[in-house]
Chains A and B, each alone.
Chain A
Amino acid sequence: MVNHDCTCKDNPLVPQLCKVIKITQETPDVQTYRVQTLDGKRPFTPMPGQLGMFSLLGVGEAMFSVTAYGEDWIETSIKKTGMLTDAFHEMAEGQQIGVRGPYGNHFPVDPCKGKDLLFIGGGIGLAPVRSFIRYAFAHRADYGKIDILYGSRSPADLVFKEDLFDNWPKEPDTAVHVTVDRGDETWEGNVGMVPGYLEELAFQPVNRKVILCGPPIMIKFTLQSLLKMGFSKEDCITTLEMRMKCGIGKCGRCNIGSKFVCLDGPVFTMAELDELPDEM
């Protein structure tokens, strides 16, 4: 399903000039950018899990998950991984950037209705998950109990701390479970990897959908734990990352078999991933 409320009416490959209105330093190497059109509007209305192409004119462009949106803004979080992302981190508020999108499919918000939701994020992987968490809170009556399990390497690497510790725990029928691989002198929460903590929390695989995003190695072991706990691959939903250029299934870059991650993904169930050639 493609959301056609896009930034550019007739040319999906030409970005719209927008401005960065707020920069949040999440961790030493992750920043969140709040972005708005030059005339103060929301650039587009994404569905949870959809992607946006963000460009620094003259430097380059790359695809990132749109982690949140409000009345007149969208947000994306970018981790420093190379030249382009370094340049994003050098931006100041007020900077103009190019934005195009939204691209790709989205989390199955309708099939998840009436179910309990277990959101699992590792590191920057909380960014895509957050878009569905916010959607679920905005449509609270449609979903059952909500659990959010988040893990990062250390307390300093936790992203979206305000959401994790202030906003989300206040939501009705919601529990937030945070763990770090290594604690420090001030950390009082759980210490341990996500899969172990997950098994300790012993969620029942009944009428519950799992949304999990994070580094491939964490996904691998977390999925093993989920299967051990009795969850089916159909009920485990994740997002894929691939190098992308166009975002609209034309440039050929992001294929896995006959699927394009930019168009048919980035959201897949673990069962769907099993159907694709092993080339990720």
Chain B
Amino acid sequence: MQLKRENLIPALRLLAAQGEILVPTAVDEKVSKFAPWDGSSAPDLALVNTTLPPKDTLFPHQEGMYRYKTAGEPSLEEIVEAPARILFGVRPCDARSIDCMDKVFLGDKYEDAFYARRRANVTVIAHTCAQTGPTCFCDSMGLSPAEAPSADLLLSDTETGWLVTAQTEKGEAVAALWKDLTAEGGEAAPAPACTLKTNMSDALAGTLVSRFEDPIWDEVCHACLGCGTCTYLCPTCYCFDINHEDHGGEGTQFRCWDSCMFSDYTRMAGGHNPRPSKKERLRNRYLHKLAYFKERYGQILCVGCGRCVGHCPSHLDITAFIDKAAERFGEGK
């Protein structure tokens, strides 16, 4: 089925009745993110990639967990929030990042109720990449700019609009909604090649862990400022801290994004810190992305979106690290 370009706004209008639509939006010259659709203009579907990933839709930067009262009769009340939302125009890398977060929050012995409730009410409409950005390398990480298998619905660029492929039940509901706006025909453009290439392989993922004491970690960590930009912008970084806001006798317990690149992330009450310097912290981040996550959940935690590569103030580049490691450890493709 094909959705013609002129039918995009009517299609979004139909969707808007189902929930809040979040579309790629330029906030200013430098920053873009997924923001509520204004209801009338065509979203900028050429943005590759939004500066901020869509992860806060499912895993807000700060999220209330429960309200409590300590004055008088103490009480505690869980906060339940799960708005119906449609993420529209998610790139294949970001679609895969949601799949990574699902692995963490929906499984592995416990379900995270806050995430699960939001997730159930979010529909992901992905959009293939007709052109790639300067730091894109998803096709080196086992993805394709033309596929997003975990998205509910996939829009693939054609000459005159988009091919509409429903991939889940939620996606079929959207396709049904658009029945009168779509027609047969249309051919998807071939997948473009990513701008950046890197030498990642399954063998390297395994080898990296066994090179825990290699001097390579010392060599790559020096420029890191520990600013946390890389983890903040990363669509798959999901670490969080739990804290509270107290207003004398009552307050809210919340969780918020945290970063393994911060020095007090692992510091214990007695002062001991198992990851005391940036070497241990960067090593943990790279190993978590490239090896640990795969050991635990079966896939790599870097989707090749290129955000950390493009925004690190010290120009640390995970693809340069992968290439260096592949060369040193002889595990190239």
Contact = CB atoms under 8 A, between A and B. Distances in A.
B240 A245 contact: yes
A227 interface: no
A252 interface: yes
Interface residues of A, number: 40
Interface class of chain A by DSSP: loop
Contact of B114 (A13, A81, A263): A13
Nearest to B212: A277
A258 interface: yes
A263 B109 contact: yes
Interface in A39-79: 57-58, 60-62
Contacts of B321: none
B270 A248 contact: no
B110 A257 contact: no
Interface centre among A11, A85, A242, A248 (most CB of B within 10 A): A11
B75 A12 contact: no
B269 A85 contact: yes
Given A57-B74, A258-B292, A12 B110 contact: yes
Nearest to B270: A81
Given A57-B68, A85-B269, A241-B268, A263 B108 contact: yes
Interface centre among A11, A58, A61 (most CB of B within 10 A): A58
Interface string A168-212: 000000000000000000000000000000000000000000000
Contacts of A270: none
Interface stretch (B123-131, B258-266, B322-330): B258-266
Contacts of B288: 252, 255
A257 B213 CA distance: 13
Contact of A13 (B75, B112, B209): B112
A35 B288 CA distance: 38
Nearest to A254: B266
Given A82-B269, A241-B268, A252-B260, A58 B113 contact: no
B246 interface: yes
Contacts of B241: 245, 251
A229 interface: no
Contact of B109 (A2, A62, A81): A2
A156 interface: no
Contacts of B274: 242, 256, 279-280
Contacts of B295: 257-258
A270 B213 CA distance: 20
B251 A58 contact: yes
B284 interface: yes
Interface in B104-155: 104-105, 108-110, 112-114
Interface in B199-217: 209, 212-213
A199 to B, nearest CB: 28
A17 B246 contact: no
B65 A252 contact: no
Q: How large is the interface on B (under 10, 10 to 19, 20 to 34, 35 or more residues)?
A: 35 or more
A243 B268 contact: yes
Contact of B292 (A96, A241, A249, A257): A257
Contacts, number: 119
A10 interface: yes
Nearest to A277: B212
B209 A62 contact: no
A109 interface: no
B76 A17 contact: yes
A10 to B, nearest CB: 6
Contact of B76 (A12, A57, A253): A57
Contact of B266 (A2, A17, A242): A242
A278 interface: yes
Contact of A12 (B113, B249, B284): B113
Given A249-B108, A252-B240, A258-B296, A277 B76 contact: no
A14 B105 contact: no
Nearest to A56: B70
B327 to A, nearest CB: 23
A279 B213 CA distance: 11
B37 interface: no
A117 interface: no
A15 interface: yes
Contacts of A13: 65, 112-114, 242, 255
Contact of B70 (A16, A57, A280): A57
Interface centre among B66, B104, B242, B293 (most CB of A within 10 A): B242
Given A251-B241, A253-B266, 12 more contacts: A15-B76, A57-B74, A58-B70, A61-B242, A62-B269, A246-B240, A249-B108, A250-B238, A251-B239, A252-B239, A255-B292, A257-B209
Closest 10 CB pairs of A and B: A252-B239, A258-B292, A11-B113, A258-B295, A248-B110, A58-B246, A82-B269, A81-B269, A96-B74, A57-B68
Interface of A: 2, 10-17, 57-58, 60-62, 81-82, 84-85, 96, 98, 241-243, 245-246, 248-253, 255-258, 263, 277-280
